[in-house]
Structure 1
Amino acid sequence: MINKLAVLFPGIGYHCDKPLLYYSRKLVREMDYEIREIHYGSLPSGVKGDGTKMRQAFIQALEDVTEQLSNVPWSSYNDIVFISKSLGTAVAAAYAKQNAIPARQIYYTPVEASFEAIGTMGIVFHGTGDSWADTKVICQKCKDRGIKLYLTEGANHSMETGDTIKDLENIRNIMTQTKKYLLEM
């Protein structure tokens, strides 16, 4: 029997009940993954464009994750997937690296600084209208690491365009690619 675990790492202000993580959670539940959701404590506000505050948020979030996942019996799982959003992408990658956890990674809208921790495993989703991360930088970082990148034209940091029907089509496409990746085990 395959024991599967999915851990959801939210962003700042982008919790697990927002579309990307909500539907990812539904997907992994349908696929019989045990699910753990990370909840951060108080993080600094006004982090956009402020490297110092972003670093403080990362450190605090990583401490929260370390505490919340301290009792997970990692070796009892055959398939571990970390599904993360924004700041959570850096936290998920750093936590896996620091603890030598062979987690497959699904990165939704990583910020550029996330690539200080992101290795060579996983897939990345990025909107070309994301004001938190430059598309050219994200493309190059993914290329350098050999990570599959899915671009959503005109989507912002929440992978939304302002057109509800287009957003629903986009979320469907993102979840389709997410499911394909999950089935690669």
Structure 2
Amino acid sequence: MKGLVLLFPGIRYTVDMPLLYYSGLYYRQQGYKVVPVSYGAQFDQVEFHNQDITQEIEDAKTYCLPQLQAIDYSKYDSVIFVSKSLGTVIAGWAQQTLQISCKQIYLTPIKQTLPYMDSSCMAIAGDADQVLDPAVLKAYCKKHDIEYHVFPGGHRIEVKKDISRNLKTIDAIVALL
């Protein structure tokens, strides 16, 4: 089987951060081609503290669209999008806009992602996420029959100063892939 995984980063959460890094590593070891999606260097300085990020979403869509259009998805038996935070919106939009048949794995989706989520995706979030209330996400996932997993932690899922717990969480998330 020939597979492709696209990694969609979040704001200030690059593909070198734990959740995306280990997801990419896992899929590489399974023989998938792993492609990081870029939104441009302008995203290196963007802050995200529950403010309106409508413009950032539009900028990311515009910047990454040529990258996404350049891929021949028909060459792959399996296509998976793994996305984090802002990247969940971009991944959902890309699947819909380009009509790509893929599995979506949404890591800490934000409210703008909800319209793209359906029963074919998986959502993973922190139980103390301050960007999208975990109760709202849980209810949405239940209503739409979406596979949902919750872990201790905030929007990054990682817990400050608890490396052992973070490693266990990452291991558990990779096991879900």
Task: Give, in angstroms, the shift of residue 21 of structure 1.
Answer: 0.5
The equivalent of 2:49 in structure 1 is: 48
Query: CA separation in 2, counterparts of 1:22 and 1:10?
Result: 10
RMSD: 1.4
Task: Give, in angstroms, the shift of residue 168 of structure 1.
Answer: 1.0
The equivalent of 1:3 in structure 2 is: 2
Structure 2 counterparts to residues 88-167 of structure 1, below 5 A: 88-153=87-152, 155-162=153-160, 163-167=162-166
Structure 1 residue runs of 5 or longer lacking an equivalent are 179-185
The equivalent of 1:77 in structure 2 is: 76
| 3-state SS of 2:59 partner | helix
Give the letter for the 1:160 counterpart. E
The answer to whether the Cα contact below 8 Å between 1:11 and 1:84 also exists between their aligned partners in 2 is yes
Task: Give, in angstroms, the shift of residue 8 of structure 1.
Answer: 0.4
Query: CA separation in 2, counterparts of 1:26 and 1:64?
Result: 25
Residue by residue, what CA displacement relative to the aligned partner does 1:67-91 show, whole Å, maximum 9, x if unpaired?
1122111111110000000000011
TM-score using structure 1 length = 0.89
| 3-state SS of 2:88 partner | helix
The answer to whether the Cα contact below 8 Å between 1:112 and 1:137 also exists between their aligned partners in 2 is no
Q: Which segment drifts farther, 80-89 or 36-45?
A: 36-45
Structure 2 residue runs of 5 or longer lacking an equivalent are none
Query: CA separation in 1, counterparts of 2:87 and 2:9?
Result: 5
Task: Give, in angstroms, the shift of residue 92 of structure 1.
Answer: 0.2
Residue by residue, what CA displacement relative to the aligned partner does 1:103-129 show, whole Å, maximum 9, x if unpaired?
101111111221122233211111011
The answer to whether the Cα contact below 8 Å between 1:93 and 1:119 also exists between their aligned partners in 2 is no
Give the letter for the 1:143 counterpart. K
Task: Give, in angstroms, the shift of residue 165 of structure 1.
Answer: 0.9
